Chain A
Amino acid sequence: MNMANEAGHAVQHWEHFAHEADMGVRGIGSTCAEAFEQAALALSAIVTDLAAICPTQKVEIACTAPDVELLLADWLNAIIFEMATRHMLFSRYEVKLADGHLAGVAWGEPVEAARHQPAVEPKGATYTSLVVRRQQDGNWLAQCIVDV
């Protein structure tokens, strides 16, 4: 999902970045929470086309970590856990951050192999290329490599 700022540049967006064996997920947002939401979308997009996922069911997720980078890994790993145990795919996320705590909501639906054509299951969010920071342009970056 892209949302343009006043200058017409996309602020909120996600992307994948290259890694030899696995995949990098990257979220950009005007706040740290938005960057976390976008990184989660990048995670979902590893598995399937986001447009194919109907956000009809809601799952609440909470995490705590000693720093914001570990919190990103925790957030992505919590989503991976919910995907695996509920056999669901998610296409919409909402994150609230406060003092090392994350309160998140994921919306999605049960996986249907024929319709979603899921390519690969994420095994875990790694600490490799794990970065959460405010960039020079004022936007937040949240990224790491995901083992698939």
Chain B
Amino acid sequence: MDISCFKHLSEFEWHLPATGAMRVPAVIYADEALMRAMDDKVREQAANVAMLPGIVRASYAMPDAHWGYGFPIGGVAAFDPEQGGVVSAGGVGFDISCGVRCLHTGLKAGDLTPLQERLADALFYAIPAGVGSTGQLRLSATEMDAMLSGGASWAVKRGFGDAADLERIEEGGQMQSAEPSQVSEQAKKRQRDEMGTLGSGNHYLEVQRVVEVCDERIAQAYGLAQDDVVVSIHCGSRGLGHQIGTEFLKQMAVAAASHHIVLPDRELACAPIDSAIGRQYLGAMRAAINCALANRQILTHLLRQVFAEVLPQARLPLLYDVSHNTCKVEEHEVDGHKRRLFVHRKGATRAFGPGHPDIPPALRPFGQPVLIGGSMGTASYILAGTERGMQLAYGSACHGAGRAMSRHEATRRWRGREVIDQLAERGILIRSPSFRGVAEEAPDAYKDVSAVVEVSDKVGLARKVARLAPLVCIKG
């Protein structure tokens, strides 16, 4: 990216002043190397977001920002309903509430070694993954609505997981003010047999080892120690969320003119928060968040069943569950005043700092766990939200490595079978229904997640707590 038009305010903070139709500046948190490696489209998209009505303070981009659609991936923006603020279907994206959850196992890496192959095979058998895969569950219309209102809380009531899981999920596992009646029949149809499925692409279930503890105090509070085995699940609201995104994107794009909104990019389709379509979208989008939370909860249940069979001594309490693609109502201090804002995070993680009331009591003094996924051959990270992050970007941090090359280029360079064999030699077992899918997700197709995390830590968006390395990866 050409960085000449940015003001370099500090080592990791780059401001694009508000010009033309921009209402506020665009701010990117990154070091110079990450800035230069970003596509020019990131600047263009961050500037476009800054043109939307009611945006407060700035349009932000995280260190892993890359060219998205409408918003950059890694984009954060808050809107004030009292200033004509908008909610944007494009600003949330198709995979509503796509996120990561991480579970303890109580095991050390050495406990797993003799059973690693068996565990990989059993997980691959039990976890529906890949294009066209279906779950065991079929929901009646009434149950579908109950799920869309209840989220992970609904899943626990139906026997998927423990009540103790709920306090370790954003919103206590249940997004309030969800309106299943705003979710179309087509969206519900698309979800009919997709409950408890992983999906495909960059979605995964990964058994991981803690290879480095970076902050002993917080790691201890999070229950993490060197060589611990944990399990991470990355997936979202499946077809239901995709369909809601699709439908409201069109409705908002078509209705923009009637709301006197000039869209710099149609993908930024949005509507006033205080409008019929804005309220309808919020109700549907919150239902999709519940769908994602329920989906990850069901997968957690399947995961626990596999561990009970293969490693019965394991116990899998939930460390935390974060969502990446959301719009949430939050209270933030802006210029000394508390304001109720609609915070969009598109490929960005909520990262509330110590003391925030939305963090479960046991973790509250240490900041919210922030779960960062890497690629299947490299590393993932656990970070903690900071007080400074609350000021920098409404308590937000990066969400992952971001792709370094297109899927097409990845399949040109690598064969799935070779990737699997090479990773197996390094002790990482991959199970996937698609060799081509594995090639597209090859470790080197992603940027270096460590560089992104390092900058997030240094700039103060979130504090580095632990680094995880993969042992088993189930890819969709």
Chain A residues close to B by CB (< 8 Å): 16, 18-23, 46-48, 65-66, 69-70, 73-74, 77, 80-81, 84-85, 87, 110-111, 113-114, 116-121, 123-128, 130, 145, 147-148
Contacts and interface: CB of A to CB of B under 8 A. Distances in A.
B402 A20 contact: yes
Contacts of B204: none
A111 B131 contact: yes
Interface stretch (B244-252, B295-303, B378-386): B244-252
A128 B440 contact: no
Given A18-B409, A123-B242, A148-B407, A118 B130 contact: yes
B337 interface: no
14 contacts: A20-B39, A20-B66, A46-B407, A47-B131, A69-B266, A81-B186, A85-B192, A117-B434, A118-B132, A120-B200, A120-B440, A125-B246, A130-B266, A148-B407
Q: Which 10 A-B pairs have the closest CB atoms?
A: A118-B131, A128-B69, A111-B132, A126-B69, A127-B266, A119-B436, A127-B267, A124-B94, A123-B94, A123-B242
Contacts of B409: 18
Contacts of B436: 48, 117-119
A148 B434 CA distance: 15
Nearest to A73: B250
A84 to B, nearest CB: 5
B431 to A, nearest CB: 13
Nearest to B189: A85
A81 B131 contact: no
A65 B251 CA distance: 10
B211 to A, nearest CB: 27
Nearest to A46: B407
Contacts of B39: 20
A128 B192 CA distance: 29
A42 B468 CA distance: 37
Contacts of A116: 131
Contacts of B462: none
B209 interface: no
Interface in B260-319: 265-267, 269
Contact of A21 (B194, B246, B250, B403): B403
A70 B250 contact: yes
The contact size tier of chain B is: 35 or more
A21 B70 contact: no
A81 B190 contact: yes
Contacts of B192: 85
A36 B90 CA distance: 23
B254 interface: yes
Contacts of A69: 266
Contact of B200 (A80, A119, A127): A119
A145 B200 contact: no
B443 interface: no
Interface in B428-449: 433-437, 439-440
B403 A120 contact: no
B338 interface: no
A126 B249 CA distance: 9
Contacts of A47: 131
A84 B67 CA distance: 26
B36 to A, nearest CB: 15
B133 interface: yes
Nearest to B194: A84
Given A70-B250, A127-B249, A120 B437 contact: yes
B360 interface: no
Contacts of B267: 126-128, 130
B262 to A, nearest CB: 15
Contacts of B437: 117-120
B201 A120 contact: yes
B206 to A, nearest CB: 18
A21 B254 contact: no
B195 to A, nearest CB: 14
A69 B194 CA distance: 30
Contact of A19 (B67, B93, B132, B246): B67
Contacts of A121: 131-132, 199-201
Contacts of B69: 22, 126-128, 145, 147
Given A21-B67, A120-B200, A127 B269 contact: yes
> Considering residues B94, B131, B189, B434, which has the most beta carbons from chain A within 10 angstroms of its beta carbon?
B131
B70 A126 contact: yes
Contacts of B407: 23, 46, 119-120, 148
B94 A113 contact: no
B415 to A, nearest CB: 12
Interface string B35-51: 00001010000000000
A46 B411 CA distance: 11
A113 B434 contact: yes
A23 B408 contact: yes
